[in-house]
Chain A
Amino acid sequence: MAKRIDVSGLTAYYGSHKAIEDISMTVEPRSVTAFIGPSGCGKSTFLRTLNRMHEVTSGGRVEGKVMLDDENLYGSGVDPVSVRRTVGMVFQRPNPFPTMSIFENVAAGLKLNGSYKKSELEGVVEKSLKGANLWNEVKDRLNKPGAGLSGGQQQRLCIARAIAVEPDVLLMDEPCSALDPISTLAIEDLIGELKERFTIVIVTHNMQQAARVSDRTAFFNLAGVGQPGKLIEIDETERIFSNPSVQATEDYISGRFG
C-alpha cells in the first residue's frame, strides 16, 4: 500500500554539525517526487531520514516528525528496523549481496520477515523481477551470482529486492548516477511503472531526469559551506522547471550556479 509522507520541522545532525534544518513537506502517495540541488545541500541526508538510515551513521541524529499516513516514524517505541521494512531504499551504487545468487538476493528481504515455502518464494521472486523489468533477462540463470550482472541489471536487481517485501514507500538515492544512458533509460521507464504501486522519492543530480520522471520536484540549497541545507521550494515539476516561485531555483535550473 502506497502511503503519504508528511514531514514537519525536521532537522538532522552529524555529531554537532547541522546538515539540514527545519524541513517540512508532503509527499503524495502513488507519485514520484524528485529532490534536486547542489552537492552538500542535504538532499541525500534528508532522504535517509525518511527510513531512519541517517542514524546508522555514527553521530547521526534527527529532530522533528515524519508521518507515514498516521504513524510517526520517530515516535517513541518505533523500531527503526520495522520502519525500514516498510520504507525500502535503492542506493547510488548497485549493491546486490555478492555472496548470494540472483534468486537469493530478491528473496533476502522476505527471509528476514519470516519463513516462506519455496513455492511462495518462487512466486514473489518472479513477480518482483517482472516488476523490475529484469525477469526476461535472468529467468534462465536465477542461481548465478547477482554480482555477475551488468551495472544496470544489478540496479534493477536491487529494485526487485526492495519491492519484493511490498514496501509502502520506495526511496532512491541517485539510482542512475553509476549507469550508462541506456540502463538509465530502463530505470526511468521502470520508475514510471512503479509509481502505480508505490510512493517514490528520488534524489538526482540530473535535472532532465527529474523533469522526465517526477510529478513534483523539491529544490534544496545551502547558504554556504558548513551551513545547513534547507528546502527552498517544492511544487509541481512542470512549474518548477518553467516558472519557479523562488529566484534561487530558477538560477539553479537555468545553470547560473551550482
Chain B
Amino acid sequence: MKTEIEPTSTAAGSPSTVRTRSTGRAGDKIFLGLSRGSGIALLVIMAAIAAFLTYRAAIAISKDDANFLTTLEWNTSSSPMRFGIAVLAYGTVVSSIIAMLIAVPIAVGIALFISHYAPRRLAAPVAYVIDLLAAVPSIVYGLWGALFLVPHLTGLYTWFDDYLGWTGILSYQGGAARSLFTVGILLAIMILPIVTSVSREVFRQVPKMHEEAALALGATRWEVIRMAVLPFGRSGIISASMLGLGRALGETMAVATVLSSNFRIEASLLDPGGGTFAQNIASRFKEAGDDGRDALIASGLVLFVVTLLVNGAARMIIARRKEYSGTAA
C-alpha cells in the first residue's frame, strides 16, 4: 500500500506527530458536536417557543366568549372574556405595508447610489450614516415620532384630505396625527438601514463580467443596472425586504409611543387610532391579569405565525427564480 511509504507519520512514529494527528481528529469531533448542537438547540428553542405560545393561547381561546379572529373588542377583565385580533391584524399588516411601500424603493435607490453611482469618497460615509440609523434604539424613534413627526404631519394630512379625501382611506378629520399612516412612515425610517445594507451588499456582488456584457452592448449606466444589476440582485432585494418586514411587523416601543390606541379599525389611514400586535401586548401586559396575559399571548402566537408565513413566502419567491438567479448553474 502507498500509505506505508508515506513520509513522517508512520516511518518516524514520533509521538508528537501522532498527537498532532489525534488532536486534529478530536478537533473535528468537537467542532462537529458544537455545530450540530447549535443547530439542534436552535430547533429546540423554536419548538419550545411555539409550544409555550400554543399552550397558553389554547387556554385563553377556550375562555374567549367571542370569535377570536373576527371580534373587534378586547375585554379581558369581564367574565366571560370577549377579545379578538381583527383590529390588531389589520393595524399590523396595514402599517407594515405602508412602511414597505415607502422604504423599499428608497432603500434600493440608496443602495444603488452607494454601490454604482457615488464616487468612492462619498459612498463610504453615506453607507456609514445609513448603518448608524440601525443603531438608534427604537424608543428614541418613538419619542422623535411622537414629539416631532406627529405635529409636523398635520399639514401633509390636511393636504391629502383636500385632494384625496374622496377616496375615504385618505380622509382626515383633524386632531393629532397618531395614526397608522404615521406609524408606517416611522417604521419605514426604522427598516431603511437593514433593507439598504443588505441590498447594497448584493449589488456589490454582481459579477463585473455581467456589467461589462451590458456595457459592451452599448448600455447606459441605468441600462446596465436594469439589465445586469437589478435582475441579479432581485432575490437579495426580496430577502432584504422580508428582513425589514419582519422588523416592521414586530416593532413595539416606537409604535406604542406614537399610536393613539383606541382598538378600532378606522376607515381612514390618516385618522388616529388602531393597534398592532406588539404594541397591544406592550401597552396591556402590566395591567393584565393571568387570563388577560394568556389572551395577549394568543395574539402573540398569531404574530409568530404571520411572521413565519411571510418568511416562507419570501423563500418560495426566491426559490422559484433560482435557475435564473445566476447562483445556480
Contact = CB atoms under 8 A, between A and B. Distances in A.
B58 to A, nearest CB: 46
Nearest to B329: A147
Contacts of B213: 91, 95-97, 158, 161
B11 interface: no
Interface string A61-103: 0000000000000000000011111101101010111111000
A85 B216 CA distance: 7
A7 interface: no
A165 B210 CA distance: 18
Nearest to B223: A112
B125 interface: no
B231 A97 contact: yes
Contacts of A98: 210, 231-232, 324-326, 329
A91 B217 contact: no
A251 B326 CA distance: 43
B176 interface: no
A109 B217 contact: yes
A165 B216 contact: no
B216 A81 contact: no
B234 A99 contact: yes
A181 interface: no
A142 interface: no
Majority secondary structure of chain B interface residues (helix, strand, loop or mixed): helix
A17 B82 CA distance: 78
Contacts of A81: 218-220
A67 to B, nearest CB: 19
B6 interface: no
B228 A109 contact: no
A84 B218 contact: yes
A56 interface: yes
Interface residues of B, number: 24
Interface string B188-214: 000000000000000000010110111
A122 B325 CA distance: 25
Given A145-B323, A145-B324, A145-B329, A95 B209 contact: yes
A158 B210 CA distance: 11
B97 interface: no
A229 to B, nearest CB: 21
Contacts of B209: 91, 93, 95
Contact of A147 (B212, B214, B216, B326): B326
A95 B212 contact: yes
A9 interface: no
B227 interface: yes
Interface in B204-262: 207, 209-210, 212-220, 223, 227-228, 231-232, 234
Contacts of B231: 97-100
Nearest to B328: A147
B47 to A, nearest CB: 38
A6 to B, nearest CB: 22
A165 B324 CA distance: 24
Interface of A: 51, 53, 56, 81-86, 88-89, 91, 93, 95-100, 108-109, 112-113, 145, 147-148, 158, 161-162, 165
Given A98-B324, A98-B325, 10 more contacts: A81-B220, A84-B216, A84-B219, A85-B218, A98-B231, A112-B217, A112-B218, A112-B223, A145-B329, A147-B326
28 contacts: A53-B216, A56-B212, A56-B215, A81-B218, A83-B218, A84-B219, A91-B212, A96-B213, A97-B210, A97-B213, A97-B214, A97-B228, A98-B210, A98-B231, A98-B325, A99-B234, A100-B231, A100-B324, A108-B214, A108-B217, A108-B227, A109-B218, A112-B223, A112-B227, A113-B218, A147-B323, A147-B326, A148-B323
Q: Which 6 A-B pairs have the closest CB atoms?
A: A98-B326, A85-B218, A99-B231, A89-B216, A109-B217, A95-B209
